[in-house]
Amino acid sequence: MNEDNSAENESSQPKPLTATARRCLGVLVEKAKTTPDGYPLSLAGLITGCNQKSNRSPQMQVDESDALLALDELRDAGAAREIQGSGRVTKYRHAAYEWLGVDSPGAAIVTELMLRGPQTAGELRTRASRMHKFPDLDSLKTELDSLMEKGLVESLTPPGRGQTFAHCLYTPQERLYLVDKIKKQDASSAASSPAGSGSAAPAKAANDDRIDKIQDRLDSVTAKLEALEKRLEFLES
């Protein structure tokens, strides 16, 4: 009975995605939340979001061919959809809630992990707040527990201070590399960090959050300008 349930849960879990497909999906969810005026995204807008400098780790250089292949992968998986926007421009929207089986809090966490890689609970609370407000750390940890039960998130390090979480959409080869990398980073930090340096991580997360909010405002202004330009073109035609 338990084996049947386990097999059913495993088969219902989303399959791993390539790095570019994860980046594209993360951008679609992020922009839907932070800059709704410019959503759904055009191909050009999606590529810009994939390659932006803030709130991205690792940095990527996605071109049109990469993005189109990733979008094909996402559509085949049922994680994204293609629609016709105004002026017959093809645009793209995510279907992450249905594909992942999550609501807004869960989508915000998984999206942040896709865009920025493994993070601690404190970092996730600060950074994911752009997409969903978590009133306190306990509320975020409750959502993390739910995501881990669904097989969407896992802990890469033991519970306790600095516990690091990652999404479960990596390919098997990527995951092995990631676990090894985290272990080496932890060993290096333990050997080199002086006493009292633990406050650096929260400060960095707060600074990153300020940069991300500036980027969101810039994206919103850009989307509004593009909408005005299209309206002017329509009125002049």
Higher pLDDT, residue 198 or 212:
212
| pLDDT at res. 13 | 81
Residue 3: pLDDT over 60: no
What is the arithmetic mean of pLDDT over 210-226? 62
CATH architecture of 106-192: Orthogonal Bundle (1.10)
Alpha-carbon gap, residue 126 to 78, rounded angstroms:
29
| pLDDT at res. 6 | 47
Residue 155: pLDDT over 90: yes
**pTM, full prediction:** 0.79
Domain 14-99+210-236 belongs in CATH node 1.10.10.10: yes
Q: Where are the chain's structural domains? A: 14-99+210-236, 106-192
Tens of pLDDT, residues 16-57: 999 999 999 999 999 999 999 999 999 999 999 999 999 999
- The confidence band for 7, taking pLDDT boundaries of 50, 70 and 90, is very low
Residue 201: pLDDT over 70: no
